[in-house]
């Protein structure tokens, strides 16, 4: 394991709350609130925002307002807006909304691939290939997500080789970056490092990121373990919003506020204003009528009160 003594000086956080977070909400969230959330996130200094997904509204009704949300955003220079596109139909609808980046999402587990996108891993790569080609021809960056990279709700523990296989297949069709996702948050640091290493066999360090759900409270430890490998990009969700509709019991991504606290506390810069970020998290949690899921936000809000 190639762990570093010197951690990265700067880390980029990809805010996935509007997509990964809100896709899992039982209640309807107004498109205007989603747009306002994106505006508050970019004002807080987030430069990468995963806005929505172009998936079947029958499967994920929460994202049915994708076009409306993309159209409603006042774009800020220097901010990259990404969307999920599982197939050509999704890409065609997404392309009209001018995303800066698209995300194809596969899995290291066959069972999860079937439940999430209704096809095998091999079929998913076949579906992604024309999407990747079309996006790259249009000059749009393509990211890939590898779900269930350490554990699967249906298959249990996942071997790193299976992450390596999906990373190799994604690299083969031109996916430019891969996110190693612990969809159900079961992973512990050595397992997560092994999964990242498997992806790093096919991608350079700058093109591998971590996406950790915090179901078992391991996500911050896994961020630190990733930093030790030199990984400097993480998907995080403001106020810890979210979960996955096809991974029962999975909670949200690690809260952006908590990762910012960890990083700033270690002298690692993010460009994010923590107070403004906490306000953004409070805005959406109040709109949802829910308590804030970020421990850092709760602690700092209690101190202020
Ligand atoms: P399918 O049923 O196999 O697709 O779904 P199909 O091609 O057979 O089409 C069936 C129907 O869906 C047709 O409509 C299509 O038009 C429609 P009908 O004729 O029945 O009226 N359809 C679409 N509609 C809108 N947009 C589309 C689209 N594609 C087909 N893009 C599909 C395949 C992938 C679409 C479906 O399984 C689906 O939408 N799944 C939802 C997956 C999802 O959003 N999961 C959550 C996001 S992934 C995630 O959270 C994990 C991640 O965070 C990383 C991690 O934590 O692990 C990224
Ligand atoms: Mg996720």
- State the pLDDT at residue 243: 62
Q: Which ligand is nearest to the CA of 103?
A: 1
Q: Candidates 56, 112, 180: which one to mutate for ligand 1, based on the most atoms within 8 Å of Cβ?
A: 56
Per-residue DSSP letter, 21: I
Question: Backbone dihedral region of 249: left (phi > 0), alpha (psi from -120 to 50 degrees) or beta?
Answer: left
C-alpha angle 239-183-14 in degrees, rounded to nearest 5? 50
How confident is the prediction for the chain on average, in pLDDT? 96
CA-CA-CA-CA torsion sign (83, 87, 93, 98): positive
C-alpha 233, offset from chain centre:
10
Token duo for residue 258: 């908590």
Fold for the domain defined by 12-304: TIM Barrel (3.20.20)
- State the pLDDT at residue 56: 98
Residue 171: CB atoms within 10 A of its CB come to 17
- State the pLDDT at residue 1: 62
* Domain regions of the chain by residue span: 12-304
- State the pLDDT at residue 251: 86
Q: Candidates 50, 55, 150, 175: which one to mutate for ligand 1, based on the most atoms within 8 Å of Cβ?
A: 55
H or E, element range at 40: helix 31-43
Q: Is the CB of 20 under 6 A from ligand 1?
A: yes
Atom of ligand 1 nearest to the CA of 235: 53
- State the pLDDT at residue 150: 98
Q: Is the CB of 244 under 6 A from ligand 1?
A: yes
Q: Which residues of the chain have pLDDT under 70?
A: 1-4, 243-247
Residues in the chain: 305
């Amino acid at each position: 394991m190639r762990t570093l003594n010197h951690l990265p000086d700067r880390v980029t956080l990809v805010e996935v709350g509007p997509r990964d977070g809100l896709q899992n909400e039982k209640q309807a969230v107004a498109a205007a609130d989603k747009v306002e959330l994106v505006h508050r996130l970019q004002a807080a200094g987030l430069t990468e925002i995963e806005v929505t997904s172009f998936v079947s509204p029958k499967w994920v009704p929460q994202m049915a307002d994708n076009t409306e949300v993309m159209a409603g955003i006042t774009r800020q220079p220097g901010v990259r807006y990404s969307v999920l596109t599982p197939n050509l139909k999704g890409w065609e609808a997404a392309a009209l909304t001018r995303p800066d980046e698209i995300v194809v999402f596969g899995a290291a587990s066959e069972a999860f691939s079937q439940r999430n996108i209704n096809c095998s891993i091999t079929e998913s790569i076949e579906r992604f290939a024309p999407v990747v080609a079309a996006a790259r021809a249009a000059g749009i960056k393509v990211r890939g997500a590898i779900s269930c990279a350490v554990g699967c709700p249906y298959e249990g523990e996942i071997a790193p080789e299976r992450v390596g296989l999906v990373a190799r297949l994604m690299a083969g069709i031109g996916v430019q970056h891969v996110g190693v996702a612990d969809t159900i948050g079961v992973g512990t640091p050595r397992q997560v490092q092994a999964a990242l290493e498997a992806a790093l066999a096919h991608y350079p360090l700058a093109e591998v990121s971590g996406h950790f759900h915090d179901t078992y409270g391991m996500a911050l430890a896994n961020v630190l373990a990733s930093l030790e490998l030199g990984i400097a990009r993480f998907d995080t969700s403001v106020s810890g919003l979210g979960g996955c509709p096809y991974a029962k019991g999975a909670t949200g991504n690690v809260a952006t506020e908590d990762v910012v606290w960890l990083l700033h506390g270690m002298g690692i810069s993010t460009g994010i204003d923590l107070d403004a970020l906490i306000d953004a998290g409070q805005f959406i949690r109040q709109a949802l009528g829910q308590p804030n899921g970020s421990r850092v936000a709760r602690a700092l809000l209690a101190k202020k009160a």
